[in-house]
Structure 1
Amino acid sequence: MRRAVILSIGGLGAVSAIVGIAAISPGPDATALPEAPAHTVEYGGLRIAVPKGWPVYRLDGDPHRCVRFDEHAVYLGAPSGEPHCPARVVGRTEAIHVTALPAAERRAPDPGRRAARTALSTLKVAPAVDRQMTLDLPQSGVRITGVYGADRALLERTLRSATAGPGAPPEPESEEFDEPEERPRSWHRGPGFDTCSAPSRRTMRAWREAYSIANIYIGGAARGCAQPRLTRSWVKDVRAMGYRLIPTYVGPQAPCSPFRARFGKDDATEKGALSAEDAVAKADELGIPEGQPLYFDIEAYSRKDKGCRKAVLRFMHAWTDRLHELDYRSGVYSSVSSGIKDLAEADRVAGLEEDFTRPDAIWFARWDGRRRVHGEKHVPDDLWHPHRRIKQYRGGHAEKHGGIKLHVDSNIVDGLVY
Structure 2
Amino acid sequence: MNDMNDMNATNGMDAPKPPAPPLPTAPPARRPRHARRRVLAVLAAAATLATVALLAAQTHGPAPGEAAGRGHPGHQSPAAGMSPAAGTSGADRTSGADRTAGIDRTAAGTAPAGAGGAAPALRYFEGRAFDTCDAPSLAVMRAWQASPYRGVGVYFGGRGRACPAQRQLTPSWVASVHALGWRLLPLFVGSQAPCVFAEAKRRYAIGSSPWSQGIREGGEAVRAARALGIDTASPLYLDMEAYRHTDTRCASTTLLFVRGWNREVRRLGYVPGFYSSAETGIRHIEAARRAGAADLPSVVWFARWRGAPALDTETVLQPLAWQPRARIHQYVGNVSESYGGRRLSIDRSAVDAPVARISASRAGARP
* TM-score, normalisation: structure 2: 0.62
Do residues 209 (structure 1) and 151 (structure 2) align?
no
- Asked if structure 2 preserves the Cα contact closer than 8 Å seen for 1:89 and 1:224, the reply is no
Q: Separation in 1 of the partners of 2:327 and 2:277?
A: 13
Deviation at 1:240, TM superposition (A): 0.3
Q: Please give the secondary structure, in 1, of the residue aligned with 2:334.
A: strand
Look up the match of 1:260.
203
Q: Separation in 2 of the partners of 1:190 and 1:291?
A: 20
Alignment of 1:163-312 (within 5 A): 186-210=123-147, 211-225=149-163, 226-257=165-196, 258=199, 259-264=202-207, 266-312=208-254
Q: Please give the secondary structure, in 1, of the residue aligned with 2:322.
A: coil
Q: Please give the secondary structure, in 2, of the residue aligned with 1:245.
A: strand
Percent identity of paired positions between Structure 1 and Structure 2:
38
Do residues 331 (structure 1) and 273 (structure 2) align?
yes
Counterparts in 2 of 1:371 and 1:356: CA distance versus 1, 3 Å: same
Q: Separation in 2 of the partners of 1:355 and 1:362?
A: 15
Alignment of 1:60-139 (within 5 A): none
Deviation at 1:315, TM superposition (A): 1.1
Do residues 384 (structure 1) and 322 (structure 2) align?
yes
Q: Please give the secondary structure, in 2, of the residue aligned with 1:369.
A: coil
Q: 1:415 aligns with which of 342, 350, 353?
A: 353
Alignment of 1:27-42 (within 5 A): none
Q: Please give the secondary structure, in 1, of the residue aligned with 2:128.
A: strand
Look up the match of 1:83.
none
Look up the match of 2:363.
none
Look up the match of 2:261.
319
Counterparts in 2 of 1:394 and 1:186: CA distance versus 1, 3 Å: same
Deviation at 1:209, TM superposition (A): 2.7
| Structure 2 residues without counterparts, runs of 5 or longer | 16-104, 107-120, 357-367
Q: Separation in 1 of the partners of 2:4 and 2:223?
A: 21
Do residues 358 (structure 1) and 300 (structure 2) align?
no
Q: Separation in 2 of the partners of 1:216 and 1:199?
A: 9
Deviation at 1:221, TM superposition (A): 0.8
- Asked if structure 2 preserves the Cα contact closer than 8 Å seen for 1:90 and 1:222, the reply is no
Runs of 4+ in structure 1 displaced over 2 angstroms? 68-71, 86-91, 182-185
Q: Please give the secondary structure, in 2, of the residue aligned with 1:223.
A: coil
Deviation at 1:355, TM superposition (A): 5.2
- Asked if structure 1 preserves the Cα contact closer than 8 Å seen for 2:122 and 2:233, the reply is no
Q: Which has the larger radius of gyration?
A: 1
Look up the match of 2:97.
none
Count residues in correspondence.
243
- Asked if structure 2 preserves the Cα contact closer than 8 Å seen for 1:269 and 1:315, the reply is yes
Counterparts in 2 of 1:363 and 1:324: CA distance versus 1, 3 Å: same
* TM-score, normalisation: structure 1: 0.55
Q: Separation in 1 of the partners of 2:244 and 2:167?
A: 34
Q: Separation in 2 of the partners of 1:412 and 1:325?
A: 28
Counterparts in 2 of 1:411 and 1:70: CA distance versus 1, 3 Å: closer
Instruction: Give the letter aligned to residue 167 of structure 2.
Output: P
Segment drifting more, 186-195 vs 305-314: 305-314
Instruction: Give the letter aligned to residue 303 of structure 2.
Output: A
- Asked if structure 2 preserves the Cα contact closer than 8 Å seen for 1:256 and 1:301, the reply is yes
Deviations 1:72-102 (A, max 9, x none): xxxxxxxxxxxxxx998779xxxxxxxxxxx
Q: Separation in 2 of the partners of 1:237 and 1:343?
A: 35
- Asked if structure 2 preserves the Cα contact closer than 8 Å seen for 1:389 and 1:416, the reply is no
Look up the match of 1:135.
none
Higher relative contact order (CA 8 A, sep 6+): 2
Q: Separation in 1 of the partners of 2:290 and 2:135?
A: 39
Q: Separation in 1 of the partners of 2:173 and 2:13?
A: 21
Q: Separation in 1 of the partners of 2:261 and 2:191?
A: 12
Instruction: Give the letter aligned to residue 388 of structure 1.
Output: A
Q: Please give the secondary structure, in 2, of the residue aligned with 1:313.
A: helix
Q: Separation in 1 of the partners of 2:210 and 2:122?
A: 33
Deviation at 1:347, TM superposition (A): 4.5
- Asked if structure 2 preserves the Cα contact closer than 8 Å seen for 1:187 and 1:416, the reply is yes
- Asked if structure 2 preserves the Cα contact closer than 8 Å seen for 1:250 and 1:298, the reply is yes
- Asked if structure 2 preserves the Cα contact closer than 8 Å seen for 1:201 and 1:238, the reply is yes
Instruction: Give the letter aligned to residue 252 of structure 2.
Output: K
Q: Separation in 2 of the partners of 1:203 and 1:342?
A: 37
- Asked if structure 2 preserves the Cα contact closer than 8 Å seen for 1:363 and 1:392, the reply is yes
Instruction: Give the letter aligned to residue 309 of structure 1.
Output: A
Deviation at 1:348, TM superposition (A): 5.5
Please tell me the root mean square deviation across aligned C-alpha atoms, in Å: 2.6
| Structure 1 residues without counterparts, runs of 5 or longer | 1-67, 72-85, 92-181
Question: Which one has the bigger strand percentage?
Answer: 1
Instruction: Give the letter aligned to residue 276 of structure 1.
Output: G
Instruction: Give the letter aligned to residue 229 of structure 1.
Output: Q
Q: Separation in 1 of the partners of 2:195 and 2:332?
A: 25
- Asked if structure 2 preserves the Cα contact closer than 8 Å seen for 1:89 and 1:196, the reply is no
Q: Separation in 2 of the partners of 1:341 and 1:241?
A: 36
Look up the match of 2:86.
none
Question: Which one has the bigger helix percentage?
Answer: 2
